[in-house]
Structure 1
């Protein structure tokens, strides 16, 4: 956005707990230069005509609390350059990467990874709780945190509780977040979707809720035993797990994330040949999805994660039961959830930003993003803007994008994180 622009009566979401308001805003050199009368006066000096922006939203960038990037420099599925470009264009200002990688990020020297200087992305890295993520030996936790790790995490299933107990008792993480997935693959029965009538009718191999609820019970017991530790639960996926979490007092309840895809798809709504079946944890029944949405609305779940897990084209051609699990695509999250939650279920935009921005920031123990005059941390979103995913020049490299062939509605028009981006009218 090289040229300054005056947005007329744009709707502002300034920060958590603040109601939206309308005003005129001047964007100049990628910064929120002025608003109100000051913006109009400066625009007059520049000879600008106002852009009708009453249907647009100006808000802080979004935060992704956990995603996967296995080969940041030479990956065929995704590189750090392609991820940063696509995520920023999608409205994400912060992305936190899990330690899962071809060379597991479990030591200080493995955490020397930074986003491209001109990308606008603030990259955060989770350190590893165990060496190699294999749950056998504790990694040098204090050293990783001193090297800048945002917290400690493991892989997509729960490590042995004895190792977790030892780690929490030693307390090298002090008050840093510890991110764990309540999942036991040994209990999954190699299922691809959760148990339910829809999965039974379709003939899918089924994964019982016990593979999530049993390890979750162990984690909740550890959380109660070590209340000074900041446990985080990764990617809850079942109504039964939500019930366990909701039964706890809010003050003693660990923060929990949910994947964006589990809020949009379930075993009753997804076409049998569609992309998006192979995820971990697996998709649930419609009742699971409804419970996750209600829990997010009620604050039982704290954050929506993109959990971007890219595959290259060859991996994507493998049969479902041989393919690595995961879906990709930061660019789908805001428009798809606006359609599903704001338009479909009556959520306010503030509630959606709580789930996509402020809640994830607290999940990472970061300061909640806010709009500030003179700042470049903003995105401009038009909920009505149509766009075709297959022709998007900002698309990531990943082959496993579940909405990659769709016509979508709702797009980030501009962001101060990358001042050259402008998709709105001229």
Structure 2
């Protein structure tokens, strides 16, 4: 790959500085050396890239996704996860502890770090809050922190609020993010779809909005008591947005994220009974969807999570209520959010990029990627007009459990540059 690149008249997005303009950018040995409308003398060693209809912006960052390896390599390996992340424009990705064995001890952290030491994607590892993620015994949090985890999560709701209090008290001095799933298990019951007239019409057990509201409210009260910062995962309801807004107005140390599917789809889509539409929490109503989008514009919900969850065809091809929750998304999120939210004027390009690059790093207590002269390049080149068909052979992921399988979508990552 040529180490000297001149991007000519390309649209540059930088949410950190608020820049959205067409100009030139020069990379020399992976470092941004020039930005502006001046030209570069071509000595024959420079790769000139015509920026017409292309976008150059900071690479994307995913807060949390699942790896199949170790334990479920038929779903995804660390290698295929890296390839899918690169194909989707992600230079950094958080791996949830739901592997087999789970990431709840330093040896697992070390093993994965060694396995991915030469990866083009920087993997952040989430350590389990409790042993085996069972929500019973607190894991070796201090040792996990020393081993290099990015934060702690069980990636599941906790029914024992006394344990949640202890977890936040124990985690506080470690100064690492604690990510919690805000759901009241008793109220959720066996619900597989958001409780509404649609759930009744489709004959599926409903998961009421109040299950998330009570889950959020309970966690916020414990945060008020302990003052430990938390990250609320997978917010899915308008009521949830209201509660987080109030918490931030009261200066509680809270950040939040939303699964990207909840920004594009609603409960009505489930009428097809497509198993790739089964999520936890489930897709919301149209009111929920619009509230979630507005919350990103208002900085109430901080980040959009890919929450990439691969499953094999056999695992997903069962009745809707029995299918495991989740879908893949690393290679689809940017084109689909751009096509459906940015191209339609619902979100600005900078609002989308802020939610997919700057704010995820803030939620992880990491410095945002900087698109400034003198900085090492960590960039993605995106073609919003390029159409392609989502097929198993086109995807780098080993799994293809997505609602958009065999559909044509618009928008493709052309190149990712990570120095």
State the TM-score, normalizing by the size of structure 1: 0.90
Identify which range, 402-411 or 116-125, moves more after superposition. 116-125
Single out whichever of 11-20 and 292-301 deviates more from structure 2. 11-20
Equivalent positions of 1:265-304 (< 5 A) are: 265-270=265-270, 272-304=272-304
| Contact 1:77 1:399 survives alignment (8 Å) | no
In structure 2, the partner of 1:108 is 106
Per-residue CA deviations over 1:227-257 (Å, capped at 9, x if unaligned) read: 2x11110101111211222223432251011
Cα offset for 1:201?
A: 2.8
SS in 2 for 1:294: helix
Q: Deviations over 1:154-173 (max 9, x none)?
A: 13212511011122233455
Alignment correspondent of 2:232: 233
CA contact (8 A) 2:248 2:254 kept: no
Map of 2:396 onto structure 1: 395
Task: Report what 2:53 is aligned to.
Answer: 55
Farther-moved stretch of structure 1 (129-138 vs 12-21): 12-21
Equivalence for 2:384: 383
Distance apart, 1:33 and its partner CA: 5.6
**What does 1:263-412 correspond to in 2, within 5 Å?**
263-270=263-270, 272-373=272-373, 375-390=376-391, 393-412=394-413
Q: Which moved more, 1:367-376 or 1:289-298?
A: 367-376
1:352 Cα deviation from its structure 2 partner: 0.6
TM-superposed CA distance for 1:137, in Å, is 0.9
CA distance 1:271–1:47, shift in 2 (3 Å): farther
Query: 1:48 & 1:127 partners in 2: Cα distance?
Result: 43
Once the two structures are superposed, residues 306-352 of structure 1 have per-residue CA deviations (whole angstroms, 9 ceiling, x without a partner) of 11111112212232222221111201101111122212243221111
CA contact (8 A) 2:275 2:320 kept: no
- 1:64 maps to 62
CA distance in structure 1 between the aligned counterparts of 2:411 and 2:131, rounded to whole angstroms = 42
SS at match of 1:318: coil
Cα distance in 1 for partners of 2:240, 2:68 equals: 29
Q: Could you tell me which residue of structure 1 aligns to residue 40 of structure 2?
A: 41
User: For residues 246-296 of structure 1, what are the alpha-carbon distances to aligned partners after superposition, in whole Å with 9 as ceiling and x for unaligned?
Assistant: 223432251011001111111124551435321111111111111111111
Q: Secondary structure of the equivalent of 1:78? A: coil
Deviates more, 1:271-280 or 1:58-67: 271-280
Residues 162-214 of structure 1 show CA distances to partners (whole Å, capped at 9, x for unaligned) of 01112223345532111000013332231211012333333332111122111
Aligned pairs for 1:53-202 (under 5 A) are 53-72=51-70, 75-112=73-110, 113-114=112-113, 116-171=116-171, 173-202=173-202
Q: 1:414 to 1:184 in 2, by over 3 A?
A: same
Range with greater deviation from structure 2 (244-253 or 350-359): 244-253
TM-fit CA distance, 1:29: 6.2
Whether the 8 Å contact between 1:64 and 1:305 is mirrored in structure 2 is: yes
Q: State the SS of the aligned residue for 2:378.
A: coil
**Partner SS, residue 62 of structure 2:** strand
How has the CA–CA distance of structure 1 residues 407 and 171 changed in structure 2, closer, same or farther, with 3 Å as cutoff? closer
Determine the C-alpha separation between the residues in 2 that align with 1:130 and 1:101: 14
1:138/1:49 CA distance change after superposition, 3 Å: closer
C-alpha distance in 1 between matches for 2:395 and 2:34: 29
Q: Distance in 2 between matches of 1:127 and 1:273?
A: 34
Counterpart Cα distance in 2 of 1:109 and 1:305: 27
Q: How many residues align?
A: 415
1:273 and 1:31 map into 2 onto residues whose CA distance is: 49
Report how far residue 66 of structure 1 moved: 0.8
CA–CA distance in structure 2, aligned partners of residues 332 and 364 of structure 1: 23
Aligned to 2:242: 243
Q: Which runs of 5+ in 1 are unaligned?
A: 419-426
CA distance in 2, matches of 1:239, 1:74: 35
Which consecutive residues of structure 2, in runs of 5 or more, have no partner in the other structure?
Answer: none
Contact 2:3 2:30 in 1 (8 A): no
Q: Would the alpha carbon gap of residues 391 and 77 (structure 1) be closer, same or farther in structure 2, given more than 3 Å must change?
A: closer
| Contact 1:15-1:371 within 8 A present in 2 as well | no
